Amino acid sequence: MACKRDEYGLRLNVRPSLHYYRRDSYVTHGGGPAGADVIDCASGFVRFGASRVVEAALAKLDPAIVARYPEVAHETLLKPALLARFGAAGAGPGQLFLGHGSFNLIERVIHKLLRADEMLGVGPQFNEVPSEFQEAGGVYRSVPLDEAGYRLPVAALENALTGHPVSILYVDNPNNPLGLAFDPEDLSRLAGSCEKRGAVLLVDEAWGDYLPDSESAIHLVGRRPNVIVVRSFSKALGLAGERVGYMFMSEPLARYYRQVDIPFEPGIVGATLARAVLDEPGLLDEIRQEATLAKETIARAFAAAGLNVLPTHPNVAIMSVEAPSRDLVEALARQDVRVLPGSSFARTHPRWDDTFCRVRIVERELVEPLCRRIAAL
């Protein structure tokens, strides 16, 4: 079959779907700098407390370390700290992998590790992972969250696993865009249901640092043969620019993944800063506390303005707001507040349009100005 002629009149042997492909959310919305008067509640990073630790670590950094490949240092620098943090999980060093952010690791799982049959997910959720799976040649199917309380629809997901060649059940926990945390027991039950059907439970904990470590699905990887958990330093821990992510997986999956792992990720500077952030006493508690206080104040402002704040966890630094029959994204833009449009999540839930939006919680000095702008809606 001849290659399709592209917009430049060239015939190049690229995947046909790329002629129509468009990133859903994190590239096309909220990625650029905001204007001087714009309060950015769209970008998926948070500036709470890690900057002072990073500044001190950079001041002590030996420039000579950047001349060496980092993979040996990872075994003594970053991996031991992560294993110690989640020590009760029953996962050994051979089940922990590093990468350039959590999405980089998910991308490798999709394109190199697992078959692209069908991905089952929940709606709404982070669009980019389903998009990546579809680009790999798979099919994505979502089950809506129980809108009575936006609970995880465990029984419906178990029914959806039946009769389909599901490769992956994808759950982001905390949920993006809601900032809602799911019951660890529900995830454990789903891991067992997936195991019976030959599916992998992939839990995306990019926002997981806002929850107690005891609630992480990492604690499932030593008990189930089919669990993958990815996490990031880009959210609560403030290292989005260094692209540091990590992944725990069950030993049977890890045996295969080691064959496609790239040992040089992340860079040594990013790994050094990540270790410094992990070692700072009380930093994570401080960040969680600031997020909780700011979120409570902002949620009250939205409610006072007559808007519907959807169910969310009080500690997680994102939440979703709804204004039925009103373009909420445009209304906030007129107040110089930038949010992530609800339509960014439409692939995972067809009812999500721009009457919904995701709001990222801002640092303390912006909370009061943001609340004034919300009041003016």
What tens digit of pLDDT does each residue of 228-273 get?
999 998 898 888 888 999 999 999 999 999 999 888 888 888 888 8
Residue 176, domain member (yes or no)? no
Residue 172, domain member (yes or no)? no
Residues 222 and 353 in one domain: no
3 state DSSP class of 353:
coil
pLDDT digits (tens, 9 = 90+) for 158-186: 999 997 889 999 999 999 999 999 999 99
How far, in Å, CA of 102 to CA of 247, rounded?
Answer: 7
Residues 45 and 59 in one domain: no
Residues 371 and 251 in one domain: no
Cβ pair 185, 210 in contact under 8 A: no
Residues 32 and 118 in one domain: no
- CATH number of the domain within which 274 lies: 3.40.640.10
Residues 209 and 86 in one domain: yes
Residues 295 and 338 in one domain: yes
Residue 154: C-alpha distances to residues 2, 25, 176, 182 (Å): 46, 27, 18, 11
Residue 11, domain member (yes or no)? no
The DSSP call for residue 18 is: G
Residues 245 and 288 in one domain: no
Count Cβ neighbours within 10 Å for each residue of 217-227 and write b for 16 or more, e otherwise. bbbbbbebebb
Residue 174, domain member (yes or no)? no
pLDDT, greater one: 256 or 90: 256
Structural domains of the chain, count:
2
Residue at which a domain ends, from 257, 279, 301: 279
- Host domain of residue 222: 52-167+182-279
Residues 22 and 103 in one domain: no
The share of the chain scoring above pLDDT 90, in percent, equals 63
Residues 234 and 295 in one domain: no
Spacing of C-alpha 309 from chain mean position? 21
Nearest Cα neighbor of 105 from 203, 183, 223, 208 is: 203
Residue at which a domain ends, from 227, 260, 279: 279
Cβ atoms within 10 Å, residue 189? 16
Residue 175, domain member (yes or no)? no
Residue 227, domain member (yes or no)? yes
Residues 325 and 269 in one domain: no
Cβ atoms within 10 Å, residue 325? 5
Residues 73 and 147 in one domain: yes
State yes or no: pLDDT of 29 exceeds 60. no
Q: What is the pLDDT of residue 176?
A: 95
Residues 214 and 356 in one domain: no
Cβ pair 30, 332 in contact under 8 A: no
The share of the chain scoring above pLDDT 70, in percent, equals 89
Residue 177, domain member (yes or no)? no
Both tokens assigned to 23: 């990133």
Residue at which a domain ends, from 234, 254, 279: 279
Say what the alpha-carbon torsion angle 211, 293, 355, 28 is, to the nearest 10 degrees. -70
Average pLDDT, the chain: 88
- CATH number of the domain within which 321 lies: 3.90.1150.10
Residue 84, domain member (yes or no)? yes
